[in-house]
Structure formats: structure tokens, C-alpha cells
Amino acid sequence: ERAVHQQRIQFFEKVPFLEVIDEAFHAVCRWHPKGTLIDNVKWAKLCRQMRFLSNMKNSKHEIDMAFVRHSDARKLDLVRFHSILDDIASMQHPELTKENALIKTVWSSIVTLTDVNAMMWKEAKAMALRHESLRVCAETRIAAFVRKEIQESKSKEMKSAALIIQKQMRQVFARRFVASLLKKMKEDEMFQLRIKCATSLQTSWRRFFWRNRFLNHKKRKIECERQNNTKKREHLRQKRRLSLASLVYRDVIRIDTTIATVSIHLYEDVQTTMLLKVYVPSTRETFSFRLNE
């Protein structure tokens, strides 16, 4: 797994045994005379070369009986070839399960066929190449990703550096341009005259603005004082009006410990008002009641 290059011998045993059986069937079919099915002659030749059922006494009889059981018109197709191999493997290795017996039979005999062996080495080589190609592709992708990240980081750094350089250069050029422009404008008499006019205009405008603001503030203050004076005069007028009222009747009434004072006032507009004051000595409180006509 950790080798630089994968060897096909590492994948020889990983070739699917079903494909090995298929290749064995096609290899036997290519024997003389060529055909698409296996007859009894080719089957007997295969059994002799593979030494099927060599551990049994009547091996030839069992092989012929197996061919008779699984053949159709004395011929074997691919499906029947698989089934007859299962039967032979079960008889040759009865102590194993059906699948394990078939695998052991294939790896102990079938793989020795020349065509099958060549196919297996070819398939093992292809599997090794595929496995190595996957690793190479992964390494290539990882290397490409790393190079991409490195290039992107470098490009970002270069871009930010270029932007900073551009910014600084623009500032330098702008300062130089403004300095040269100001120098030319200072040397120009017309420009000096314009500066004086602008300064005078600004001074006049500021004077007008603050003077107008002060006058508005003063005007608001005078208006506020005028309103306050008006309220005060109205209050004095009401007070004077009350003072001009004449007392028409007044009497003091004593009820137990309570003293009540009754007074009637008549104002200029002929409005009559009764004022009732009650004094309670125990609490030293006075209560006033005003009744209008």
C-alpha cells in the first residue's frame, strides 16, 4: 500500500473468481475444434489437466455422471459450467462450504490454465494501474490545490501591496499638484485680490449674521417682558377691583365653641357676593366660603 509503484502480484489474488471461471469457460471453448459450448471431450480433457476428483476412487465415473446431470444435449453453456464446477468442488472438498470449496478448487487448478493465467495477470495489472492512478490523481489534485492556495495568497499580497503603493503615489502626486497650484495662485496678484475680497466678504457676513441673531434674541426677550408686564397689570387690575368693593352687611354668630362671620359685599358692576368665615378654636383653623348671587 505504501510502495511508490503498485505491483500486479499484489492484486493477483484480488481478481474475482467468478471472472476466472468465465475466462476458463471461454478458454476451453477455444480448444480445437472451436465453439461456443463445451462438449464431453473438452470436459474430459479439462478434468484430466485439472486432476478433478483425484482424491476419489471412481473419479472418471463421478466426472461423467456430473457431466450427464448438468449438460443439455451433451453440451455445457456458461451457466451450466458454473453449476458443474460447484458440484465438482463440493465432491472434492466435502469438509468445506460450497463457496469456499469452489474458491479452493479455482485457485488450486483453474488458474493454472495458460489463457486463464494470462487473463488474471492482465487483470491484476489493470487493477494495480487503477489503484496507482487513483493515488496519483489524488496527489495531483492535492498538489494543484496547494499551488492554487499559494498562488492566491501571493496574488492577494501583491494586489494589496499594489493598492497601497497606488494610494501613496496618488497622495504624493495630489500634494505636489496642490502645492504647485497654491504656489502659482500666491504669486498671482489677482488671486491675492480675490483672497482679500473673500476675507472681507466673510467678515461682513459673519458680522451681519451674529448681529441679526443678537437683535432677534433681544426682540424675543422684549416680547417676553411685555407679556409678563401685561399679566402683572391684569392681576393688579383684578386686585384693585376687589378692593373697590363695598361692605353692605356684616355679622358675627357664635355657635357653642365655633365662631362664624358673615359679610355681604357689593361691587361696582352690581354683583353681590356673600363671604362666610368659620373659625374653630379647638383646631385653630378658619374656613372661608364665597357665595355669588
Percent of the chain with pLDDT over 70: 91
Taking the CB of residue 54, how many other CB atoms lie within 10 A of it? 10
Average pLDDT of the segment spanning 213-238:
93
Q: How far apart are CA 109 and CA 88, in angstroms?
A: 12
Task: Tell whether pTM > 0.85.
Answer: no
Confidence of residue 181 (pLDDT cuts 50, 70, 90): confident
Q: How far apart are CA 43 and CA 29, in angstroms?
A: 10
Taking the CB of residue 85, how many other CB atoms lie within 10 A of it? 23
Q: Is the pLDDT of residue 4 over 60?
A: no
Identify whether 281 is preceded by a cis peptide bond (ω within 30 of 0): no
Confidence of residue 5 (pLDDT cuts 50, 70, 90): low
Confidence of residue 158 (pLDDT cuts 50, 70, 90): very high
Q: Is the pLDDT of residue 18 over 80?
A: yes
Q: What is the pLDDT of residues 52-109, one digit of tens each?
A: 888 888 888 899 999 999 998 899 999 999 999 999 999 999 899 999 999 999 988 9
The angle that helices 17-29 and 40-50 make with each other, rounded to 10 degrees, is: 130
- Report which DSSP code applies to 284: T
Average pLDDT of the segment spanning 233-247:
75
What's the pLDDT at 67? 93
What's the pLDDT at 88? 92
Q: Is the pLDDT of residue 40 over 60?
A: yes
Among 79, 93, 91, 96, which residue's Cα sits nearest to residue 18? 79
pLDDT, mean over the chain: 86
Looking at residue 215, its amino acid is L
Q: How far apart are CA 128 and CA 1, in angstroms?
A: 11
Q: How far apart are CA 212 and CA 219, in angstroms?
A: 10
What's the pLDDT at 3? 59
Average pLDDT of the segment spanning 242-269:
70
What's the pLDDT at 239? 76
Average pLDDT of the segment spanning 137-164:
93
Residue 258, SS3 per DSSP: strand
Consecutive H or E run containing 148: helix 114-187
Contacts of 12 (CB under 8 A, 6+ apart): 120, 121, 124
Give me 248's grid cell.
353692605
